[in-house]
Amino acid sequence: MRNLAKTVLFFTICIFLAAPAGAAKEFLTGKEIEKIQDTYEIDARVRIYMEAAALRLKTAEERLTGKESAPGDPLEFFTPEDMLDSYYRILKSVMTNIDDAARNPKRDNGITIDGRVMVNDKQRIGKALKQLKSETEKDLEELLILKKIAEEKKNEHLWDLINEAVEITNGAHEGAGYGLSKQPSPAVKDNKNK
């Protein structure tokens, strides 16, 4: 329990130390919001958030290299700067969601929502942390590409946003690693169940 509290504290500190990147424009599409609202398990929520985050980085790179969005694309009117702000805010949301799930783990106690059992146990939190760690590694690579493009274009504002995104990505990656290091190994879990 102490290790879980340390993980929660680490994520909380990362969230509050990271400076907000900009204006309060909506950072998720309507469909993404709907998916998140319909998903109760922490690992599935993190997957949806991280897919949205990766899409923001990919779309920012496409815009910076001259590729225009297709008509009707939900990100059509977002600038690369908007994409990076959205990415930042998505990672803050992921960290907050994991923090909340770790503080209030739920066991399968028969509680159902829309016919589904709510479970946010340590196993799901572990899956969420693994996914966060893995995805932030990929995101850091993409952010380095974006940083190089921003430098080539001499776009200081974009460069600053990328640095903020790198900072929160590193914090999320380190926090996920720390949280995973405090989770009992599968062998320990099996021994406890006997």
d(CA 46, CA 128): 6
Position 102, amino acid:
A
Q: Which residues contact residue 55 at a Cβ distance below 8 angstroms, ignoring those fewer than 6 apart? A: 75
pLDDT confidence of residue 183:
82
For tokens 């949205």, the residue is: 52
Residue 117 CB: number of other CB atoms within 10 A? 13
Asked if residues 11 and 168 have their Cβ atoms less than 8 Å apart, the reply is: no
Looking at residue 170, its amino acid is N
Residue 120's DSSP bridge partners are 106
Tokens 């001259």 -> residue: 66
Sequence letter at residue 156 = E
Query: What pLDDT score does 104 carry?
Result: 81
Domain boundaries, the chain: 23-186
Contact 85, 162 (CB under 8 A): no
Compute the 3-state secondary structure of the chain and give helix, strand, coil in percent, each to the nearest 5: 70, 5, 25
pLDDT tens-place values along the chain, 194 residues long: 566 656 655 665 555 445 444 445 789 999 999 999 999 899 999 999 999 999 999 999 999 999 988 888 999 999 999 999 999 999 999 999 999 988 887 655 445 555 555 555 788 999 999 999 999 999 999 999 999 999 999 999 999 999 999 999 999 999 999 999 988 765 544 455 54
Task: Output the pTM of the full model.
Answer: 0.79
